[in-house]
């Protein structure tokens, strides 16, 4: 029986909860609901790779936001290492936002 505390799916859920505490400084919505997180991968060693984007390549937090994501995800119990990769393919658009985020911003 797998120790549920260190189940990759459980850790994945904890990572998402943690990421939802990180907000875009210009938009009052967390980066997960904004659709900035494209993928979260947890391997059998509990190393985490996060593929994310920014609202624009010239985003004012381009230097700090990925570091913030990495540092916060490293605090999740069971996570060994974290790598955050930035991509602009596909480019971010409002279509990637959750309905919750669209509602919050008055787009829905």
3-state secondary structure at position 55: coil
At 66-106, the pLDDT tens digits run 999 999 999 999 999 999 999 999 999 999 999 999 998 89
Q: Please check whether residue 105 lies inside any domain of the structure.
A: no
Q: Please check whether residue 108 lies inside any domain of the structure.
A: no
How many structural domains compose the chain? Answer: 1
Q: How far apart are CA 59 and CA 65, in angstroms?
A: 10
Q: Please check whether residue 104 lies inside any domain of the structure.
A: no
Domain containing residue 47: 4-94
55 in Cβ contact with 34 (< 8 Å): yes
For position 14, what pLDDT does the model report? 95
At 12-21, the pLDDT tens digits run 999 999 999 9
CATH code assigned at 36: 3.30.300.130
């Amino acid at each position: 029986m797998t120790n549920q505390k260190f189940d990759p799916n459980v850790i994945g859920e904890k990572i998402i909860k943690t990421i939802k505490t990180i907000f875009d400084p210009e938009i009052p919505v967390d980066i997960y609901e904004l659709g900035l997180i494209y993928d979260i991968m947890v391997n059998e060693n509990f190393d985490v790779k996060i593929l994310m984007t920014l609202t624009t390549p010239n985003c004012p937090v381009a230097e700090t936001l990925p570091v913030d994501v990495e540092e916060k995800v490293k605090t999740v119990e069971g996570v060994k290492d974290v790598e955050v990769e930035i991509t602009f393919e596909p480019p971010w658009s409002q279509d990637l936002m959750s309905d919750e985020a669209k509602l919050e911003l008055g787009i829905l």
